[in-house]
Amino acid sequence: MRNKPARKLRELLRLPPGERVDLSRYDARATPGAPDGRRAAEAEADRMGTQLARLQERLWAAATAGDHRRVLLVLQGMDTSGKGGTVKHVIGQLNPSGCRITAFKAPSEEERGHDFLWRVRRALPEPGEIGIFDRSHYEDVLIARVRHLARPAEIGSRYGLINDFERSLAEDGVTLVKCFLHLSYDEQRRRLLRRLDRPDKRWKFTPGDIDERALWPDYQKAYELALERCAAPYAPWYLVPADRKWYRNWAISRLLLERLRELDPRYPEADFDVADCRERLLKET
């Protein structure tokens, strides 16, 4: 039964707002809600790609007639957890015109001169678009906390600021899909070793990745706090087990599909006289 999605996937993966999060209780190799086996999941993810692209076109079309709704996929997770892979494989199935993708790096000098949400506001999707954040404003309560990049009181205040910000987005027509890609410590080692061993993967590696990895428990703790404090009904967190790439792709496709189906965007009606336009075109010589 467990492998039949009787319930919506997002009910299975959503972290309940207001509850403590203990990441050690979640199996990163789990495949909740997935079809039986990798092959079936990959085939289903392909089919969902087509459905996602169709709904994306409708969302875009609706925006041309004044519909303000848009979607924002937030991807967070440890190094190698598959944020980039999700963009490549899941978002890669959509029409790139309608996607606004931002990979947030360490803030530039200009960005550091503003409040931490400044650069995020500038990267938001426009009506009809699907925004994708590869890392996000959450870095300001994750690496910032672990690496002491700001005073504790300041970091403490950011959770509330994030909640206010996300509420304002939701009220402005943004459907937030926040995914934490839950990777195990062992799987990260395997992936880092693979990056070292393959000359075509080595460019993704820096020795700093090993230093970050040494802070694994601190990062897990920082994630637990962020997932606890910034989960709201209008902006839930989904915990996506990410040790299996095929599951991660399937699950994120599914989460997006569920949300887009609920939005149910429609092609707009013509606000002009179709018959008249037809006639004008046909009357030409």
Residues at the interface with its own copies (CB under 8 A): 61, 64-65, 84, 87-88, 91-92, 94-97, 99, 101, 103, 134, 189, 192-193, 196-197, 199-200, 202-207, 210, 267-268, 270, 272-274, 277-278, 280-282, 284
Shortest CB 3 distance to its own copies, Å: 30
Contacts of 189 (CB under 8 A, 6+ apart): 213
Shortest CB 174 distance to its own copies, Å: 20
Shortest CB 230 distance to its own copies, Å: 25
Q: Report the distance separating Cα 111 and Cα 106, nearest Å.
A: 9
Q: Which is nearer to its own copies, 94 or 174 (CB)?
A: 94
Q: Which is nearer to its own copies, 162 or 177 (CB)?
A: 177
Shortest CB 204 distance to its own copies, Å: 8
Phi, psi at residue 8, to the nearest 5°?
A: -65, 145
Residue type, 112: R
Q: Which is nearer to its own copies, 171 or 200 (CB)?
A: 200
Q: Report the distance separating Cα 231 and Cα 237, nearest Å.
A: 6
Shortest CB 88 distance to its own copies, Å: 5
For residue 8, the SS3 value is: coil
Q: Which is nearer to its own copies, 7 or 280 (CB)?
A: 280
Q: Report the distance separating Cα 228 and Cα 168, nearest Å.
A: 19
Rg for the chain, CA atoms, rounded: 21
Q: Report the distance separating Cα 27 and Cα 17, nearest Å.
A: 20
Q: Which is nearer to its own copies, 21 or 75 (CB)?
A: 75
